[in-house]
Structure 1
């Protein structure tokens, strides 16, 4: 009997959180309910989501940068439909898939000089895992270096490059030789590379956690040190790539930067089919696949599927045809100017970091005594709490999905689709202004919500403390 997906969706609607809680991840459901994210979504189109009440939301979360082209883009959908309608086989195993060859060719065209060979996988973390193995094979070295506050994925190799201890807790020990250095500290990087055991230095040109933008001077200096000490420079463009920063790669903002490996994923999927790519030099690739016996020594069962490759090809076509990288620059400038205009009016608002449509809005301690007391109270309860004072009313009152930029950061990150309208930008700016007006009234409803969230956080901390003690 044919399966009826619509019937399944309709049957579980309204019960999905209970089912997910029972069979998947009850702790995550608790988080969603606490933050008010337990919405029932019924439709997605472009930059928008709709809930069961018919309310339209602006999606500036985009599943952490997957939906650069919005949801249900007709060109990408059309490409996938063509694959479904064809008899052409995929996953033959012993084959050279033509769509994979075509996507590799298109990616190489967009790379810095010298990067001419592509390995395909299913996700960003798999792309990073491949990069680690490739660097080890090419250099014969065992170790890696990464930046503080880095995020490269959650499988064991990628997790070893994670700059946030809370992600690593319970999974140690990490890969031996994994070392952390500070963004901007070239002396510290040189001291680590000079030991001679680092296969690859892995970095995000724009860090996803906090949207910290590496300077041109640092990136070029790091490249020089990598060349000096025989370490491969690996640029993680999983979130910052695919036009997000206003260039195809964020590293392409720096003239003369030529990494040895680039990793892509997220938006390369078009929001449909998972796909990852590790792009490198032929000499690096050949060090892995060095004999016929080792022709598939690193491989993935579900890599290079026709649907994934078609999604990647269609995504690149949309990016080019709609001139979305340039649009990201134009709209990003509109965001930045609008947010900067609010800074003199609101004590909590400290500034904005922006490149293309990768944007961080930073908050900090106010000057006035009453607001300073409120800031201290909230951060004493939980240092992750203040940013929720922005995220929650943006969602509840203005129907905009945003995200906190990282652990213990009073920073909101927005990752809009690259094809949003100017009116969408203005929608967000007007909403942010309204949220800030209300937040600067203490006492007030916003602070009551934060106190309630804070009490939940304190209770959770006590439970964790008791569990650790036993």
Structure 2
């Protein structure tokens, strides 16, 4: 589909049918539309219709779609080499440049990274690292948490209906209510290898804890000798108005996991920790490996995206535009308080919660040319995570469309209609 001429209905239907026939999917139903191209905060379907993208591909396209600097970096890197042995044999300059950038915005001492290709892979490596370093078997995680779908990551992800079919998973995982320090204190003990937490829960509904929660977890982990793993897969790279969401509370974790926006749109993640903790992977050698983590193409894209964020002040813009976004959503909430029951978030990591079906509201917005998303562990929540380059005019367009949908009562339960 290199040609950008809109496709006719028959061609679009053909793509949908071939997709359904050959691509394994875990979500039933016919796909909404066929993608043709994307640029900035706009996604264009094969029929030529433009959509305002307020999802960033689930917090991936932080610098916007097809940013020219990222495209140029990918093109240049492809002319040098796309893939070599990325782990164990050679020095790859793109990996060095990428890791130096990541660790320049983490706390002092968190200056070593292991590159991965996804958030789930980062979680898997972090769990292995914590177990091997501490010699302990247990993990403490949180209700509504989400850390990925591979076996280890699934073990520390909350939703039982997705865990049950794949059991037995990792033993000795205890879930406690998010934000509840008393419950965490009862669970974290001398058998705990690590506490794994999203500082702001993503798939749990963009839930921001009280200010004492993350510092309290740090203290509880220190008391028991457990490590503190913070999952920044969704909340990192400026999404929350800081480089990483845990930085809102001045807490220094032992391990950070990240992915999504790290690669500028290509698959790239990382585990960041201290040299002391990572040294445990050397005994025995090759305790952990990757084939594609730190792929040169992905690193080149990630370097370009990071440099754009620094040059254009996108972390600061995320904080500023996030305030504008929440203010506009709150205006709609004030008009329809029985229909929108909450507006929350930090930076451009935002959500509103409806008294009804969040998926129906998201669908109605899409019909009107605006893309938002649901979350996995909170049915009434609608996720709003635009690229960090979103303009105030685009935010205002979204808010006007939201007002139209909420005013119509689409997806709102009978008890939520004013």
User: Would the TM-score normalized by the shorter structure come out above 0.5?
Assistant: yes
Give, in angstroms, the shift of residue 251 of structure 1.
0.6
Does 1:25 pair with 2:24? yes
Find runs of 4+ consecutive structure 1 residues off by over 3 angstroms. Answer: 4-7, 9-14
Is this contact kept in 2: 1:289–1:295, CA < 8 A? yes
Give, in angstroms, the shift of residue 102 of structure 1.
1.9
Which protein has the larger Cα radius of gyration, Structure 1 or Structure 2? 1
Mapped partners of 2:237, 2:219: distance in 1: 26
Q: How does 1:47-62 map to 2 (within 5 A)?
A: 47-62=41-56
Give, in angstroms, the shift of residue 86 of structure 1.
2.1
Q: Deviations over 1:159-208 (max 9, x none)?
A: 001111222131111201111111121121111112x1111110001111
Q: CA RMSD in A?
A: 2.3
Aligned match of 1:204: 198
TM score, norm. by length of structure 2: 0.92
Aligned match of 2:318: 328
Does 1:111 pair with 2:106? yes
- Could you tell me which runs of 5 or more consecutive residues in structure 1 were left unpaired when the two chains were aligned: 365-374, 376-385, 440-445, 452-470
Q: How does 1:420-435 map to 2 (within 5 A)?
A: 420-435=390-405
Aligned match of 1:355: 346
Aligned match of 1:403: 373
Give, in angstroms, the shift of residue 104 of structure 1.
1.4
In terms of fraction of residues, the more helix-rich structure is 1
Q: Secondary structure at the match of 1:390?
A: helix
Mapped partners of 1:135, 1:125: distance in 2: 15
Q: Secondary structure at the match of 1:434?
A: helix
Aligned match of 2:327: 337
Q: How does 1:306-325 map to 2 (within 5 A)?
A: 306-325=296-315
Is this contact kept in 2: 1:21–1:29, CA < 8 A? no
Q: Deviations over 1:354-385 (max 9, x none)?
A: 20000110123xxxxxxxxxx6xxxxxxxxxx
Mapped partners of 1:349, 1:202: distance in 2: 31
Mapped partners of 2:377, 2:281: distance in 1: 36
Mapped partners of 2:334, 2:326: distance in 1: 14
Q: Secondary structure at the match of 2:27?
A: helix
Give, in angstroms, the shift of residue 392 of structure 1.
1.4
Aligned match of 2:406: 436
Change (3 A) 1:130 1:44: same
Q: How does 1:127-146 map to 2 (within 5 A)?
A: 127-146=122-141
Give, in angstroms, the shift of residue 5 of structure 1.
6.9
Tell me: higher relative CO, structure 1 or 2? Use CA pairs within 8 A at least 6 residues apart: 2
Change (3 A) 1:239 1:80: same
Aligned match of 1:152: 147
Aligned match of 2:13: 14
Give, in angstroms, the shift of residue 62 of structure 1.
1.9
Does 1:123 pair with 2:114? no
Give, in angstroms, the shift of residue 389 of structure 1.
3.0
Q: Secondary structure at the match of 2:401?
A: helix
Change (3 A) 1:427 1:135: same
Is this contact kept in 2: 1:163–1:180, CA < 8 A? yes
Is this contact kept in 2: 1:17–1:29, CA < 8 A? no
Mapped partners of 1:363, 1:71: distance in 2: 29
Aligned match of 1:84: 78
Q: Deviations over 1:114-163 (max 9, x none)?
A: 20111011100000111001101110001111111000000000000111
Q: Secondary structure at the match of 2:235?
A: coil
Mapped partners of 2:258, 2:63: distance in 1: 16
Aligned match of 2:280: 287
TM score, norm. by length of structure 1: 0.82
Is this contact kept in 2: 1:61–1:403, CA < 8 A? yes
Is this contact kept in 2: 1:20–1:29, CA < 8 A? no
More displaced stretch, 85-94 vs 149-158:
85-94
Give, in angstroms, the shift of residue 87 of structure 1.
5.7
Mapped partners of 1:63, 1:281: distance in 2: 31
- Could you tell me which runs of 5 or more consecutive residues in structure 2 were left unpaired when the two chains were aligned: none
Q: Deviations over 1:264-310 (max 9, x none)?
A: 10001111x211100001110012213xxx33220101122211211
Aligned match of 2:384: 414
Q: Deviations over 1:374-416 (max 9, x none)?
A: x6xxxxxxxxxx11331111011x2111112234521111110
Give, in angstroms, the shift of residue 27 of structure 1.
5.8
Is this contact kept in 1: 2:82–2:295, CA < 8 A? no
